[in-house]
Amino acid sequence: MIAQQLLNGIVVGGVYALFALGFNLVFGIQRILNLAHGAVFMAGAFTAWYTVVNGGPLWLGFLLAMALSGCLSVLIELVCFRRLRRTGDEEFGAIISSIGASLVIMTIAQRISGTRIVRFPFDTFPIQIYQVAGLRISLLQLFMAAAAFALVVVMAWFVYRTPWGRRIRAVTENARAAMLTGVNPNAVYRQTYFMAGALAGAAGVLVGLAFNSIHYMMGEPYLLFGFVIIILGGLGSIPGALLAALLFGMMQTLTIAFLPTGLTNAVIFLGLFLILLLRPHGLLGREEAGQLRGRR
């Protein structure tokens, strides 16, 4: 059963990675924690759900969720962070501002959904179980793993292999220097927030499909997970976040499977604490990355 649970952990970790990568991308480029990221994730799940229950196909719901979540994320950047950025002291202000944005989005979702927990219809995704080398893997798990992998690869390609990605990395290193070379930091921020939001929206749909529970507060625990993952992986490190997400997913699944259920979170967070004792800057983090004011 260990191999089966590891497989479960990798699939769940892949979804965590989608969420955490967007969270980390924003932190990496602006050194701010966007605490409305969980609300964006929730909005994505609701968008796909509304599409499906109104007769639309799941693929359309998935795309709409990514598009809407991306736009919502850009809106948060424009409304909550841009003005603060001009003051040059946005780190703590952004935390408060994003909490406010999160509350507004969640309240709207609560009103619209009537505080109900909704779910995709049972047959939205076909239940097909495959036996591979003694392991059971469902079609939904394959889809989740494939979608997470494809989106992470696309994001990595975008960041590391395209002119847009070069601009993002240039702004990450030094926004003023990038501006002197003709890069418009605001445009880069918009692209980054859209990408982060789209990834969160995709993660929301996958979580809604896998765990059958879409509600206005569903983003809150993922925000905590995302925070843990980016700390564990190393603040601002995309490969670190990916590694940490997979590790976190596996640790979570294995502790649920083999330990008394009440101890799960205590054991997970004890493990994370021990890892951080040995590597204070995270698995793949750099010393300066953890310093919020370190790069300007």
Say which DSSP state 123 is in: T
Is residue 123 a contact point for other proteins (CB under 8 A)?
yes
Is residue 161 a contact point for other proteins (CB under 8 A)?
no
- Tokens standing for residue 140: 């939904």
Say which DSSP state 78 is in: I
Nearer to other proteins (CB atom), residue 211 or residue 269: 211
Is residue 175 a contact point for other proteins (CB under 8 A)?
no
Say which DSSP state 129 is in: E
Region for residue 234 given its phi and psi (left: phi exceeds 0; alpha: psi -120 to 50; beta: otherwise): left
State how far Cα 192 lies from the chain centre. Answer: 13
Query: Distances from the Cα of 133 to the Cαs of 1, 4, 8, 137, 250, in angstroms?
Result: 12, 10, 15, 10, 19
Is residue 273 a contact point for other proteins (CB under 8 A)?
no
Nearer to other proteins (CB atom), residue 157 or residue 211: 211
Among 116, 280, 287, 288, binds other proteins (CB under 8 A): 116
d(CA 83, CA 40): 20
Quickly list H helices, 212-263.
219-233, 238-258
Among 55, 88, 121, 182, binds other proteins (CB under 8 A): 121
Nearer to other proteins (CB atom), residue 63 or residue 205: 205
Task: Show the site string, 245-264: x = touches other proteins by CB under 8 A, - = not.
Answer: -------xxx-xx---xx--
Among residues 193, 239, 202, 154, the alpha carbon closest in space to that of 19 is found at 202
Is residue 180 a contact point for other proteins (CB under 8 A)?
no
Is residue 119 a contact point for other proteins (CB under 8 A)?
yes
Nearer to other proteins (CB atom), residue 149 or residue 211: 211
Nearer to other proteins (CB atom), residue 188 or residue 268: 268
Nearer to other proteins (CB atom), residue 140 or residue 231: 140
Task: Give the interface segment with other proteins, choosing from 26-34, 56-64, 114-122, 165-173 (CB under 8 A).
Answer: 114-122
Among residues 35, 166, 4, the alpha carbon closest in space to that of 99 is found at 35
Is residue 1 a contact point for other proteins (CB under 8 A)?
yes
Among 136, 153, 154, 160, binds other proteins (CB under 8 A): 136
Among 59, 96, 115, 291, binds other proteins (CB under 8 A): 115
Element (H, E) at 132: strand 129-132
Residues 140-159 that bind other proteins (CB under 8 A): 140
Element (H, E) at 263: none
Nearer to other proteins (CB atom), residue 39 or residue 94: 39
d(CA 171, CA 295): 11
Residues 188-227 that bind other proteins (CB under 8 A): 210-213, 218
- Tokens standing for residue 118: 């909704």
Nearer to other proteins (CB atom), residue 240 or residue 249: 249
Among 8, 30, 97, 237, binds other proteins (CB under 8 A): 8
Question: In a 3-state reduction of DSSP, which class is residue 232?
Answer: helix
Among residues 221, 208, 163, 174, the alpha carbon closest in space to that of 30 is found at 174
Residues at the site binding other proteins, with contacts judged by CB under 8 A: 1, 4-5, 8-9, 11-12, 114-117, 119, 121-123, 127, 129, 136, 138, 140, 210-213, 218, 252-254, 256-257, 261-262
